[in-house]
Amino acid sequence: MAGRRRASRHGVVVLCLLLASLVACGGRPTAMDTARADVQRVLDRRAAAVLERDKAAIAETGAASWFEDVSAVPLASWAYKVTGVHRTGATATADAELRYQVQGYDQAPVTVARTLDLSLDAAGQWYVVREKPARKAAQQLWDQGEVTVVRGRHSIVLGVGQSGERLHSFADLADHAVPAVSDAWGTHWSRHVVVLVPKSLAGMAGLLGSPASSYRGIAAVTTGETGAPPQAPADRIIVNPDAYGLLGTLGRQVVLTHETTHVATRGDTTAATPLWLSEGYADWVGYRGTGRTPAEAAPELEEAVSAGRVPAALPSDADFGFSGSASGLAMSYEGGWMACRMIADRWGEAKLGAFYRSVGTHEKRPGAVEEAMAKVLDTDLKSFTAEWREYLRAHLD
């Protein structure tokens, strides 16, 4: 019995030493771990206050003046996830993911990287001094100023530095575009769009996280994930107000309908879909029913064909780069549009839609177009390209 007691005491001593070692090696929370947990609690309170639109409660967690910029946006969710804290005494910088949803439009949260500057207040609580996009992350519209919201029948338009009248004009364009797209593509999509109208080209570039030079002359772009599931954030149609203001009435409608087509076809657009097809189809829907002739809608291509410079092949993805010449980019869009127009003319509009969807069923580009042409159009790429070149001569020469 005595031997057992001695062994027991020895085991307790070893166990205590082992536990002490474990605590010393990291079992006890560090100051940084505590700061991260404290910051997360503050941001949880801040997020709840944003959703409740309680400016006083937001002010208890930090600077609240920015809330005026986002307060008009209808939010279904707003939450932060702290991913890192960098503390220096009574100040800290937190890296966080902001996840939010626009009510009635986003079927899943938009996730963006944010950086928050914090300081300790007199009571020893963390206080948010400033929130901004993380380094290399795109801005959100409210980072650029107070957001004004206008609703249409099939759209929500959010703008900064724009009059209510101008934002209503975008809602009208979008409301016309949605049924026009559904008439061509079908109704198996959300049938509503989110349009963002910043103050300037610089604002557009900020929302896209790219240099302004990349989008000069581009009237609008649509952001979204290709092949996205139904439960996903809504695509955003982002307008370049500088370029848009130069368009006539028809041009503005064609652009909004084109971009709305991208929203509708997003789920069937994959890595296998070439840009000549996705952009050409969007232009085909945009011009559908307008009465515009090929010569009117494809002036750059008409000039080339009339001069005997008929393209030898369908436009490549590289031909759609924004960094090239404006005329070359225009010819690429026009060439894709003419290819889709030819399919609609020869095989019918239903076959055009079926061809688009068939290409998108492939996971990768190689063989996708060729297989869809054989399956849906009963032709091959070589024959299709030759016929497309003859179509260009017939309609543009």
Give the tokens for residue 213. 């030079």
Name the nearest CA neighbour of 238 among 216, 259, 220, 263. Answer: 220
Do 179 and 302 fall within a single domain? no
CATH code of residue 166:
3.30.2010.30
Give the DSSP letter of residue 205.
H
Least confident range from 51-65, 99-113, 222-236: namely 222-236
In this predicted structure, the answer to whether residue 33 has a pLDDT above a threshold of 90 is no
Tell me which residue range forms the domain holding 101: 31-137
What is the C-alpha to C-alpha distance for residues 393 and 2, in angstroms, rounded to an integer? 107
Percent of the chain surpassing pLDDT 70: 90
Do 346 and 375 fall within a single domain? yes
Give the DSSP letter of residue 214.
G
Structural domain count, the chain:
3
Residue 324's pLDDT is what? 63
Percent of the chain surpassing pLDDT 90: 82
Per the CB < 8 A criterion, the answer to whether 236 and 222 are in contact is: yes
SS3 289: coil
Per the CB < 8 A criterion, the answer to whether 286 and 257 are in contact is: yes
| CA distances in angstroms from 178 to 84, 195, 311, listed in the order given | 42, 12, 33
Do 274 and 341 fall within a single domain? yes
Query: Can you tell me the mean pLDDT for 284-304?
Result: 95
SS3 171: helix
Say what the pTM is: 0.88
Q: Which residues contact 299 (CB under 8 A, 6 or more apart)?
A: 330, 334
Do 73 and 45 fall within a single domain? yes
* Of 120, 137, 154, the domain-final residue: 137
Give the DSSP letter of residue 314.
P
Residues 182-192: tens digit of each pLDDT: 999 999 999 99
Residue 394's pLDDT is what? 96
In this predicted structure, the answer to whether residue 247 has a pLDDT above a threshold of 60 is yes
Residues 203-235: tens digit of each pLDDT: 999 999 998 888 888 899 999 877 667 678 999
pLDDT grade for 276, boundaries at 50, 70 and 90: very high
Residues 122-144: tens digit of each pLDDT: 888 999 999 999 999 999 999 99
* Of 251, 268, 285, the domain-final residue: 268
